[in-house]
Amino acid sequence: MSIKLSEFLVSNSDIEKCPKDNIPEYPFIGRSNVGKSSLINFICNKKKLAKTSRKPGKTELINHFKINNSWHLVDLPGYGYSVSSKTKKKQFQKIITSYFKKRKQIILTFILIDIRHKPQKIDLEFMRWLNSIKIPFCLIFTKSDKLTNKTKIKNIDFYKKTLENLWEEVPSLFITSSLKKEGGSEIVELIKKLNEDFKKNQTIFLNPFFRQNSHKNL
Ligand code: GTP
Ligand code: MG
């Protein structure tokens, strides 16, 4: 599936003002600056659909995009960047928490991880929290153009091992570079499949990722 049509719908901090349609929704979340907005632009093939910046903290609100007239991509503020002011961090946290707690249309969440870094506590804790509120997720490694193949493999292996120690089942992993336009079609294909399941069942959450994963209590 290619994305033929993408349009910005609405931007706000109030979950009650998000679009009311009962169509599948896929949020992109992760640390500030990880490349959420860039990845949305890449997979929609539109340079300026979502606002990006070199400085962390660019996306401040919940941004809804309608894709192919039938589903939503959502760009969210990032979490946990040390240069953000405390007030901003708190604001972002509040927006993110209420979005995930209240938004019933979410089919699957994409958590973005910078491929250069070792597993970060804040990401691992976020995964655990999402699971505790029964939201399925998978992981997207970003900025793969910044590493050699060898280091990429090493980092992903290490991440997988970390996840294996924490979870009964390791979530699906994708590797992307928005700069080099790599790894986008696999994500779009997955969304297409989930949208088809949704159409057949008309039931939110009936997807393979909803087998409740268990976090190991270490
Ligand atoms: P916030 O909205 O601040 O939370 O950030 P974000 O996660 O939306 O990140 P954004 O897409 O704004 O990108 C942050 C910076 O990373 C920008 O300078 C992008 O150009 C850069 N960037 C994003 N994706 C890639 C990538 O795949 N490769 C490289 N080299 N740079 C990237
Ligand atoms: Mg952003």
Q: What is the pLDDT of residues 91-150, one digit of tens each?
A: 889 999 999 999 999 999 999 999 999 999 999 999 999 999 989 999 999 999 999 999
How far, in Å, is the centroid of ligand 1 from the Cα of 38? 5
Q: CB-based contacts of 97: which residues, under 8 Å, 6+ apart?
A: none
Q: Is 142 in the pocket of ligand 1 (CB under 6 A)?
A: yes
Nearest alpha-carbon partner for 193 in 130, 135, 108: 108
**First-to-last C-alpha distance (Å) of the chain:** 41
Nearest alpha-carbon partner for 36 in 123, 146, 113: 113
Question: Which listed ligand is nearest to 33 at the C-alpha?
Answer: 1
Question: Which listed ligand is nearest to 179 at the C-alpha?
Answer: 1
> How many other β-carbons are positioned within 10 Å of the β-carbon of residue 143?
23
* Residue whose CB lies within 8 A of the most ligand 1 atoms, among 42, 48, 178, for a mutation test: 178
Q: In angstroms, rounded to a whole number, what is the distance separating the alpha carbons of residues 137 and 104? A: 14
Closest residue CA from atom 21 of ligand 1: 35
Q: Give the pLDDT of residue 83.
A: 60
Q: Is 41 in the pocket of ligand 1 (CB under 6 A)?
A: no
Q: Give the pLDDT of residue 208.
A: 41
Q: What is the CA radius of gyration of the chain?
A: 16
Q: Give the pLDDT of residue 91.
A: 87
Q: Give the pLDDT of residue 86.
A: 78
Nearest alpha-carbon partner for 111 in 95, 98, 126: 126
pLDDT per residue, tens digit, the chain (218 aa), is 579 999 999 999 999 999 999 999 999 999 999 999 999 999 999 999 999 999 988 999 999 999 999 999 999 999 986 566 778 888 889 999 999 999 999 999 999 999 999 999 999 999 999 999 989 999 999 999 999 999 999 999 999 999 999 998 899 999 999 999 999 999 999 999 999 988 887 655 444 444 456 676 65
How far, in Å, is the centroid of ligand 2 from the Cα of 75? 7
Q: Give the pLDDT of residue 90.
A: 86
Q: Give the pLDDT of residue 85.
A: 75
How far, in Å, is the centroid of ligand 2 from the Cα of 112? 11
Buried b (16+ CB within 10 A) or exposed e, 154-186: ebbeebeeebeebbeebbbebbbbbeeeebbee
Q: What is the atom index within ligand 1 of the atom nearest the CA of 56? A: 3
Which residues are bridge partners to 113 per DSSP?
141
Q: Is 38 in the pocket of ligand 1 (CB under 6 A)?
A: yes
* Residue in this structure with the two tokens 């949020």, named with its chain if needed: 27
Strand ranges, E, within 85-162: 109-114, 137-142
